[in-house]
């Protein structure tokens, strides 16, 4: 287990519990480690260790269209850069979307999106080495090929892009 992730998540949830209880309530219960193993075996995708550790602490945040959420209230599930942490099941849905999912995603695993009830998605992804990327399926932009330097904005303009497909079909 990645101890840095555990310590950081415990600090975050401790702060939320005290200072933002509505946001704290938007955190889903953890994933059973056996479910992580089964998902990896089924998809053939190895989750980055830090992401797997995070999922064993919390299985993402509630989606904005959750039945018990008041649509007139601030969305308490928004975290990183105004995005929802994806539950394990939603990671598989987002990663499996598109006509050429593996060609689009390559080594990247999405872990946060603006609204996972509405496709096409845009959000954040991570690779097995822990590099962070921004992606936008609406514009056909796959995750960038490398992470921006630490301390810089991970915006699409700061990433090196993979080449677009040459078939003439739009990337998804």
Q: Which tens digits make up the pLDDT trace of 16-32?
A: 999 988 888 889 999 99
Residues 109-138 as b/e (b if ≥16 CB within 10 A, e otherwise) read bbbbbbbbeeeebbbbbbbeeebbbbbebe
In tens, the pLDDT along 109-163 reads 889 887 766 666 788 888 877 788 887 776 655 565 444 444 444 444 334 333 3
Domains in the chain, please, with CATH?
3-158 (3.40.1580)
Task: Name the range with the highest mean pLDDT among 30-39, 61-70, 85-94, 160-169.
Answer: 30-39
């Amino acid at each position: 287990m990645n101890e840095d992730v555990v310590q950081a998540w415990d600090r975050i949830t401790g702060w939320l519990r005290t200072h933002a209880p509505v946001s704290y309530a938007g955190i889903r219960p953890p994933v059973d480690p056996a479910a992580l193993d089964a998902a990896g075996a089924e998809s053939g995708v190895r989750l980055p260790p830090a992401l797997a550790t995070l999922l064993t602490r919390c299985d993402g945040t509630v989606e904005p269209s959750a039945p018990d959420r008041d649509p007139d209230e601030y969305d308490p599930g928004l975290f990183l850069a105004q995005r929802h942490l994806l539950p394990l099941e939603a990671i598989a849905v987002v990663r499996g979307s598109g006509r050429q999912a593996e060609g689009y995603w390559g080594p990247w695993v999405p872990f946060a999106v603006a609204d996972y009830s509405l496709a096409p998605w845009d959000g954040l992804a991570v690779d097995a080495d822990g590099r962070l990327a921004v992606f936008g399926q609406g514009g056909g932009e796959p995750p960038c090929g490398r992470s921006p330097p630490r301390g810089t904005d991970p915006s699409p303009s700061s990433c090196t892009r993979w080449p677009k497909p040459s078939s003439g079909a739009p990337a998804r």
